[in-house]
Structure 1
Amino acid sequence: MSDALVVAFAVAGSLLTALDDRSILRPYHGVTGLVLLLAGLSLFFRRRAPLTVIWITIAIPAVVLVVELLARGTLLYTQGDIDVESISLWPPGAIFAAYAVTAFPKADQPAWLRALPIATLTLVLVATPRVIPDAAIHPIAGQSTDSDSAMAFRGAVLVIGGALLGMYVSARRRVLDGLRERAERAAEQARAEERARLAAEMHDVVAHRVTLMVLQAGALRVRARDDETRQAAEEMRGTGAKALEELRDVIGLLRRTDEGPDDEAGEHGPLPDLSTLIAESGSVGVPVDLDEQGDPPLASPVVGRTAYRIVQEALTNVRKHAPGARVRVKIRYRADGVRLTVLNSAPSRPADGDLAASGSGTGLTGLGQRVDLIGGTFTADPTPDGGFRVDASLPAFVPTPAPEAVT
């Protein structure tokens, strides 16, 4: 039941009690109506502050009981043509207050803090009929010998029933939360096993073959008889060595677990100097405005290489898909990481079809997955003016298992 319906029911019942001319309550209509209205409205907070709400609910019948025990007839009529029906389910919010205490318990809250107000409310509602005049009770109960007991029983059932229903709802919620948590753990375990399988496969197959390529390129450089061949072999060897470094990064990230950074492998170092990459971009016809703020923090090597790859891929895409576009690279260094933004305007001329079609088309997708593995965020979206924006936020440090020699 929604909070609005609960409050509406309690407020309606309270107002009927206060405005009934034949009510057993003395006609202090203004004060009575205001007090009962506030008590009903307090049910809006039954989820956030259930204990406060139930103690407010207890206070009203408790005051009536105590005052009538001390001075009979002060708050209740003792004679005349009166009608107790308007308080036969009074106070109207009792069942909802009792339900809220057990249905919405606070974390680490002692059980006795919930049991005490429920027991107190039950006791007050059981005792209150004892101070209601028999002449008022008879028309409802029908028998003078059983009238107050019937009202007492009704009050106890309301409170205890509401509390039991709340206990059931709370227990069911805990069971569902437990099942959901188990399902999430099982899914995470499956992902971890799949990452471990991929890491092993990359280590045993891909990295091994790249290593052979690097070794063969090195041998070719030594045996080559002309400078052009030696230079090509050296470039091949250097490219392969960089590929091995990135493979080690990815394998380490795939093997990383969520058990905590108990092995903080990888020394911290400065982030790579991106100005060289940006200068190279300008030399091939893609001028870039560089906007740097802050001091570069020490970072894990994998973070530095990822930052370099993000800018490199973004500038490559500009060269292929947005010739003549203005490009701006914004770098915001923080103590705990770095934020990179590569923003280009709309192209000023059509792109070369062959150049735009080159590549696998999955560079940005792969970067997003790589950034996700190191705990960062990555977005790549077109801008309203026809340009494109790549935005990444990277942490400074990423705990990974100690790197193994790739053989």
Structure 2
Amino acid sequence: MSDKARDRTGGGPGGRPGALAQVAAALRTPAGAAQPLFAQAPRAWQRALPYVVAGIFVVSLLPTTIVVLADDYGMDGGWAGALGVAQTAPLLLAVTRPLPAWLLVLVADTLGAVVLLTQADKVAGHAWPWTPTAVIGYLVLSACLGLRESVRTLVGVWLATGALGAVLGFFQPAGTMNTAALLFVLAGVVLALTGALRGLGDARRRIAEQESISEAERSRRTLLEERARIARELHDVVAHHMSVITVQADSAPYRLPGMPEPVREEFAAIAASARESLDEMRRLLTVLRTPDGADGSGGAGGGGRADGERAPQPGIGRLQQLVEATVRAGQPVELSLAAGAARAAPPAVDLSAYRIVQEALANVVRHAPGAPTRVSVTVDDDEVLLLVVNGPAARDAVVEPDGPGTGHGLVGMRERVRLTGGTLDTGPLPDGGFRVAARLPLHTGAGAAGTDGTDDTNEERS
């Protein structure tokens, strides 16, 4: 088949739908109750098609109806013109309001049949009560009805058409051809076909809605499975090693007698940090294992959770403890904390500020051990400003042997900043140090959500 023929029938080159296929798609997607026909079609020319078709029928049927009524049926010119307009002009209304248009046309056609009864001698040998042009216009109107109205309405229209034809049949002039049965059958066929198209479009729409719902459910199930897998890995791998570290640090003074007091304090600090990490990991596992991401309080056995799971999330108020733990690990850190900073920050900003400082200090410990570090937290009426600046690593320090990191730390900082609608700026300093600066708005909409100044080239830091 040639490309031109393929375009006319079903598909163009490369599988592009042809004109007939596009029209068929528009027919299967009828408009809603308050919209014009084909209002949901994807292309502009498809949406304009009902108006064009209705206009063509009106322009062609209007003069034809007047000529037929005046010449063939011998009707007065005034009556012929009035009935011609009344029987054809409502076809334009049928694009948006087919049921009122049907009522107007039905009244006009009935009035025309009654007027023809007054001149029975001129009607002999012609179609009655419905003239040929009236039959054509009525079928066009039936197609519009079928694409818009419900099955109950279509059945009522069809029965009303047959009943009115049967009533007029009792007054049929002699020598005329009765067209009531013809219109009844043809209107039923058109209503049935277009109604079936309407039903097919509705079925396809419902299938598409169900597919979208199923896809959303599959995505949600995949997310829950991934969260469960992450929770298992965290529990089986990380939590196990952290537990081992805690036990070894606690038992070191008993396994190694005669240990100096500074060494004992160092092991005690290691054990405390490990226990705190385990508590935070338990809270994280609770979130991951809860389907809706809530705190799990509504689940079975929620009242028996560990105290660590019910503990509040860390915030700016615990930065002093975080800095002290870092100092005990041998990292010189100075903290400048504004008075009332913790009370001024909402929970999301409070937690994000703590996590950003925590990750920044962890990066300093890994990549610049022994470097002097300064942490500054200031608060004004609209935002929290965080600044973590460190110098180069100490000359005698042993830097992490694994080389550059994965960049997940800076990515996590940037995501937390985006959630609060703030900005993040990170990068190296001329003296070999590093800078992390974050601005977290205290009120929704105070910052530009999703904006940050992080350069992806710096993500090897974390």
Is 2:66 the partner of 1:11?
no
Q: For 2:253 and 2:405, how far apart are their aligned partners in 1? A: 28
Q: For 2:311 and 2:204, how far apart are their aligned partners in 1? A: 51
CA displacement at 1:6 relative to structure 2: 6.0
CA displacement at 1:169 relative to structure 2: 3.0
Q: Does the 8 Å contact 1:57/1:93 carry over to 2?
A: yes
| Deviation digits for residues 328-350 of structure 1 (CA, Å, limit 9, x no counterpart) | 77898xxxxxxx976789x9xx9
Aligned equivalent of 1:262: 299
Aligned equivalent of 1:162: 194
Q: 1:132 to 1:17 in 2, by over 3 A?
A: farther
Q: Which of 286, 307, 329 is the equivalent residue of 1:252?
A: 286
Aligned equivalent of 1:362: 408
Q: For 1:295 and 1:89, how far apart are their aligned partners in 2? A: 74
After TM superposition, list the pairs within 5 Å mapping 1:8-407 onto structure 2: 8-16=48-56, 18-19=58-59, 20-23=62-65, 26-27=81-82, 35-40=90-95, 42=96, 56-66=97-107, 69=110, 72-73=113-114, 84-85=132-133, 88-90=136-138, 92=140, 94-101=142-149, 114-124=150-160, 145=177, 147-179=179-211, 181-182=213-214, 184-221=216-253, 223=257, 225-258=259-292, 261-263=298-300, 264=302, 272-275=314-317, 277=319, 284=333, 308-313=354-359, 359-366=405-412, 377=419
Structure 1, 247-256 or 61-70: larger mean CA deviation: 61-70
Q: Does the 8 Å contact 1:122/1:160 carry over to 2?
A: no
CA displacement at 1:214 relative to structure 2: 0.8
Q: For 1:156 and 1:269, how far apart are their aligned partners in 2? A: 72
| Deviation digits for residues 23-77 of structure 1 (CA, Å, limit 9, x no counterpart) | 257437888887544442x2xxxxxxxxxxxxx4122233443465478556999
Gaps of 5+ in 1: 43-55, 102-113, 134-143, 333-339, 394-407
Q: Does the 8 Å contact 1:17/1:23 carry over to 2?
A: no
Q: For 1:29 and 1:343, how far apart are their aligned partners in 2? A: 80
Aligned equivalent of 1:46: none
Give the TM-score normalised by the residue count of structure 2: 0.52
What RMSD in Å do the two structures reach over aligned CA positions? 5.7
CA displacement at 1:92 relative to structure 2: 4.0
SS of 1:167's partner is helix
Q: 1:326 to 1:75 in 2, by over 3 A?
A: farther
Which protein shows a greater Rg? 2
Give the TM-score normalised by the residue count of structure 1: 0.58
CA displacement at 1:226 relative to structure 2: 2.2
CA displacement at 1:240 relative to structure 2: 0.6
| Deviation digits for residues 71-109 of structure 1 (CA, Å, limit 9, x no counterpart) | 8556999879998447614474643443345xxxxxxxx
CA displacement at 1:209 relative to structure 2: 2.2
**Paired amino acid for 2:299:** D
SS of 1:88's partner is helix
Gaps of 5+ in 2: 1-25, 27-37, 67-79, 170-175, 324-331, 426-435, 443-462
Structure 1, 229-238 or 323-332: larger mean CA deviation: 323-332
Q: For 1:285 and 1:77, how far apart are their aligned partners in 2? A: 108
Q: Does the 8 Å contact 1:271/1:296 carry over to 2?
A: no
Structure 1, 256-265 or 224-233: larger mean CA deviation: 256-265
Q: Percent same amino acid among aligned pairs? A: 22
**Paired amino acid for 2:101:** I
CA displacement at 1:197 relative to structure 2: 3.9
| Deviation digits for residues 300-337 of structure 1 (CA, Å, limit 9, x no counterpart) | xxx9766632453368789999x9999877898xxxxx
